[in-house]
Structure 1
Amino acid sequence: MIPAGLPFSPTPPSAQQPALLISNGTAEDLIGARLARLLRLPVRYSPLVGEGRAYAAVPGAVRVGRVLRLPSGGFPFGSLENLRADLKAGLVGESLGQWQDAVRGARGAGVVVVVGDAYALMVGTLAARRAGIPLIHVQPLLSAQYLEGLSVRGAMQELNALGANLPMPYELRLAAGAHAVFVRDAATARYYAARGVAARWAGSFAMDVLAAPERDLSRWTAGKPVLALIPGSREDHRQSLPLMLLAAARLPELAALVAWPHDWEAVSLPPGWTLDIQSETEALAVGGGVQLPVLRGAFGAIAHAADVAIGTAGTANEQLAGLGKPVVAFATSGPQFTMGFARRQGRLLGEALSVVEANPDALAAEIRALHHDGPRRARAALAGLTRIGPAGALGVIAEEVQRAAEG
């Protein structure tokens, strides 16, 4: 069945052939959508996890195929429970259907762009080969830095994340057949090159999609140092936000701000706390003798204003670190920010990330220690800046996509 709304009439010779973007995750959708807005081409997009809402901001973009909503939020191998829930939700059958949708979506296109992991690359390779068009792979997940200090025992403890720590042989083979491959840092480009894949590093994808400050926060901060609370876009927030609020209540010397990406109905509060909704974008978490702002649509402003952060997020933690802001984290029961994920992110970010116990006292103590230790903050800032790197990749990639489509 042809996906509804997708134009499959033959492309006139004089018309521009569209780019098909395949992405599989929230961060990957953000990167794909930002890339799409830089292209001088019609855009089709195939989000393999969720609805791909980030693409709604791309004028004229057309979604290809069905929507796959997973209980794990795209982390089926994060735990056995995640995998069971996703299988029950139809992971296998719906995924096979998405492969067929991607093949159809590549018909009449000029280039396939994959933003994601080995699975997305497999889908994109199939679609590009069937259509006989170039494939460009943007790999924002793997980093050779995940291997730093990883012992054999540690690797055995993270078997479920093996393909997230380093590229598997089959991913390298698929990448070797791509027109171009872009990776997230210079260390990973060197890792690929040593294995015969001419991958390029042109800048940080995470920093490319970091929003500029959306609003003035001065009425919330009153000149105090800012503590950013980043519960993340995954369901981990239900466990992590209450702990963050309790920790912030113990730190009156800091102005705590919650960057909230969900609806107000999703806010989870500590026992006895209440949520005072001020508007569509502002609310107050009230309890423990404090009123803490919870702000929607303000992540860029909060990230840039922050002096330090508590985060249980993937890309958002990396963006804070990339701005030179130390991040304190703690493991949740999932689906994303499990202890294994926290260990991996710690290897990626080095001194920019510290992981403590999941209790308010430990969080508050770590934040206070960072706040009063200037040399440690400086080391954390340097680690984040150097390990994440500057923005600038997507402009380079857009030009490569343009050339591949036109060639």
Structure 2
Amino acid sequence: MSDVSRLSPTSRLQLLVLSNGHGEDIIAVRILQELLQLANPPDIYALPLVGEGRAYQNLNIPLIGAVRTMPSGGFIYMDGRQLARDVRGGLLQLTWSQIQAMRRWVSSQQKLGNKQAILAVGDIVPLLFAFISGANYAFVGTAKSEYYVRDEVGLLPRKSKAARWENFSGSIYHPWERWLMSRRRCRAVFPRDGLTTQILQNWSIPAFDVGNPMMDGLQPKVSPQLFYMANARYQEMDRPLVITLLPGSRAPEAYNNWQVIMTAVSALMASFQERDSFLPNSGTVVFVGAIAPSLDLTTLAETVESQGWQTHLDLPLPFPDADALIFKQRNAHLVLTQQSYNECLHWGDVAIAMAGTATEQFIGLGKPAIAIPGEGPQYTPAFAEAQSRLLGLSLILVEQPVQVAQVVRSLFTNPDTLHIIRENGVRRMGKPGAARRIADCLVEKLGI
């Protein structure tokens, strides 16, 4: 915890960043990295409302208040039982201490004569914190999108009467949220897509369509184009089909998801035994598993080997991970990597997904993903259904893993569908560079 009372008066803006989740921390840090490259960057502090804020600590940004990981891990909105666990774990006391820490920070900056502002990243919780701080603020809305309730044509059909509550006032953002975003001290709002921006602007909210920082920082070390240096057209036909596997990052859920994904892989392998017209001329398939560093590769490898895969050394791709685990079965390879996440996203032609952010990023690159709802606490049937509305036809839901093979066949025998999916994914997730565009806008709106 930094002692802001020892700071000397400065002409630079004092910026406090509030976020409420690991993914939100990462998005905030991407924006902060752009701000720090300015000729006269602000002095930056952070208050992660959920978790320990390791992303800020890795950037040497001081934290101004208490941090703690709650039992739910931040998924309190998906299950009332998770919220109850967090309350028993001290959520209310933690929240009150964080409000007090924020007020102390603002007060100390005012006493020193410093100009201060708040950058809230996430949902209504950091937005509400920013409002009660008394300082000017900006809001990066990561949790809500109009695509949950509508597309460019109109409202989506919904089976549940309770679903009407999501859009009862004409927007996915409720009146009290729009009220917080329309205050004079709210200088800028950055929704996650153009459709949401357009709707919010109907209420004179200072909303700016600059893209989604989730699509930043995904450049691979090895570009897919470097696979084929000459005779590119022929080699594109001869290259392997690459299928990305996204089991999520939270244990033990990710281990359960991996078992489901491997069942889907086995069904795919069975379908490949006969010569399929949608396979490349090589007839080779490579499965690449994007595994979070927090997970145990040995546990995942045991599941792979139980499905008949054998350890192998060579891989028909220039994979930039010397520690990757490689397996082979007939004409297919399977790779587990904890160091080449971006390559897994860029190389894949299609994903089998049971993840949140990773699925959205894969689709944002213009590719289709097939989702299998799990048992949670994150990737539940309700979460997957909501994500399918957010991502539209780019995300195909199946009830059973054995259905994945049929969907893959359908996708790669319909090139027109793949073209529409490509355009849809980019439109819904935005183009790279959003963090820099947000930083440039903050310079103007917050007076950095």
TM category, shorter: 0.7 to 0.9
Which of 14, 29, 34 is the aligned partner of 1:38? 34
| 1:63 and 2:51 are equivalent in the alignment | no
User: Which has the larger Rg?
Assistant: 2
Q: How does 1:6-405 map to 2 (within 5 A)?
A: 6-14=3-11, 16-39=12-35, 40-58=41-59, 60-106=60-106, 107-108=108-109, 110-127=116-133, 129=134, 133-148=135-150, 149-151=155-157, 153-154=159-160, 156=162, 166-177=172-183, 178-208=186-216, 210-215=217-222, 223-235=239-251, 236-252=253-269, 253-265=284-296, 267-268=299-300, 270=303, 272=306, 282-284=323-325, 292-359=334-401, 361-405=402-446
Deviates more, 1:348-357 or 1:276-285: 276-285
Q: Residues 221 and 343 of structure 2 are in contact (CA less than 8 Å); yes or no, is this contact kept in structure 1?
A: yes
The separation in 1 between residues aligned to 2:268 and 2:323, in whole angstroms, is 21
Deviates more, 1:43-52 or 1:103-112: 103-112
Q: Residues 28 and 115 of structure 1 are in contact (CA less than 8 Å); yes or no, is this contact kept in structure 2?
A: yes
Using the size of structure 2 for normalisation, the TM-score is 0.78
Match of 2:376, SS state, is: coil
The separation in 2 between residues aligned to 1:134 and 1:281, in whole angstroms, is 48
Q: Residues 11 and 17 of structure 1 are in contact (CA less than 8 Å); yes or no, is this contact kept in structure 2?
A: no
The separation in 1 between residues aligned to 2:146 and 2:220, in whole angstroms, is 31
What is the CA RMSD across the aligned residues, in angstroms? 3.2
Deviation of residue 282 (structure 1)?
Answer: 3.2
The separation in 1 between residues aligned to 2:179 and 2:163, in whole angstroms, is 26
Pair 1:216–1:323, CA change in 2 (3 A): closer
Cα displacement string for residues 142-188 of structure 1 (whole angstroms, at most 9, x for unaligned residues): 1111112544643516979999x821211111111211111111211
Pair 1:27–1:301, CA change in 2 (3 A): same
Letter in 2 for 1:366: V
Match of 1:368, SS state, is: helix
Q: Residues 312 and 327 of structure 2 are in contact (CA less than 8 Å); yes or no, is this contact kept in structure 1?
A: no
Where in structure 2 are there 5+ consecutive unaligned residues? Answer: 36-40, 110-114, 228-237, 270-283, 314-319
Q: Residues 6 and 63 of structure 1 are in contact (CA less than 8 Å); yes or no, is this contact kept in structure 2?
A: no
The separation in 2 between residues aligned to 1:332 and 1:37, in whole angstroms, is 35
Deviation of residue 216 (structure 1)?
Answer: 7.3
Could you tell me which residue of structure 1 aligns to residue 317 of structure 2? Answer: none
Tell me the number of residue pairs that the alignment of Structure 1 and Structure 2 aligns.
Answer: 394
Q: Residues 111 and 401 of structure 1 are in contact (CA less than 8 Å); yes or no, is this contact kept in structure 2?
A: no
Q: Residues 207 and 322 of structure 1 are in contact (CA less than 8 Å); yes or no, is this contact kept in structure 2?
A: yes
The separation in 2 between residues aligned to 1:402 and 1:93, in whole angstroms, is 35
The separation in 2 between residues aligned to 1:161 and 1:312, in whole angstroms, is 27
Letter in 2 for 1:190: Q
Match of 1:73, SS state, is: coil
